[in-house]
Amino acid sequence: MSRSLATALGTTAVLMWALLALFTAASGDVPPFQLAALTFTIGTAIGFIWLWAKGRFHELRQPLSVWVFGTVGLFGYHALYFTALRNAPPVEAGLIAYLWPLLIVVFSALLPGEKLRWYHLVGALLGLSGTVLIVTRGESLSFDARYTLGYVAALGCALTWSSYSVLSRRLASVPTGIVAGYCLTTAIGAAIAHLLFETTVWPADGGEWLAVLGLGLMPVGAAFYVWDIGVKRGDIQLLGVTSYAAPLLSTIILIAAGYGVLTPQIAIAALLITGGAVLAARGGRFSRQRPGSKPASASSNASN
């Protein structure tokens, strides 16, 4: 698979994650860990059906370290995210947690064949600025020591997902089919956490069940499979920058669905995030086209 195709597939994960807030809002009062257990079960089914259709169940035979890596990445991220939201104001916690795209760009410089360019970093910072406007709605932030546990959990959330994404490049030889196993162990972990900490609340009607199904099929299902392809074989720095489009697109979708209103802050955020993504993409293309520079596909193949 070419680097550009893998990057394009990885970008579709960002598009699917933009639907996360809408489907979650439409799923009713289902507790977070119960919702995670339900949706990751659906995500597991997607992978298992694909493995069965292709006759590739052998892809699940991986070392224990690979299983632990994937489980910590998916379940660890969600567990820390729920902990952050329960122990800190959602605006501050969400903003800290959404440092992961910037961290992906920075951490990717440690990978073989990758270098941190100025346009990647500036693009990521522009995206972060746009996300700050969306999350805070142009208002000031206030961090209170009483919510330290939540802030730490949110930072752990950002570190977990960025580390998972970057280190996946080191596991490029591991087939994407293993993500079905990651979803399975995450579903089991979420179910255990639900039984320990939550009261069961089932979706109230068909619409809420459809929202749960939508979550499992896309943001908490197919998205993880295409993201795995993207970070293993695509332009991981560009994927990190474009990930800031998720909160913007999510906000636009919520507005279109009647869950919010368009504000000047959102318009400015759109310009910042779009500008950051364009800068990173065009900067990378210019760098690859300079006389004497090696094609990106060559450096990618060398790193894989």
The 10s digit of each residue's pLDDT in 123-162 is 888 878 877 777 676 676 667 788 889 889 988 999 999 9
- Cβ 272 vs Cβ 129: under 8 Å: yes
Mean pLDDT in residue range 14-26: 90
Assign 35 a pLDDT band (cuts: 50, 70, 90): very high
Tens of pLDDT, residue by residue over 241-258, are 888 888 888 878 888 887
Q: Which pLDDT score, from 0 to 100, does residue 297 have?
A: 41
Buried b (16+ CB within 10 A) or exposed e, 78-93: bbbbbbbbebbbeebb
Tens of pLDDT, residue by residue over 90-132, are 777 777 888 888 888 888 888 887 777 788 788 888 878 877 7
CB atoms within 10 A of CB 234: 26
Q: Which of 149-153, 167-171, 260-264 has the highest mean pLDDT?
A: 167-171
Q: Supply φ then ψ for residue 144, to 5 degrees.
A: -115, 135
Contacts of 47 (CB under 8 A, 6+ apart): 177, 179, 180, 181, 183, 225
Euclidean distance between CA atoms 64 and 246, whole angstroms: 32
DSSP label at residue 294:
P
Assign 217 a pLDDT band (cuts: 50, 70, 90): very high
Q: Is residue 287 predicted with pLDDT exceeding 70?
A: no
Mean pLDDT in residue range 190-194: 96
pTM for the structure as a whole? 0.83
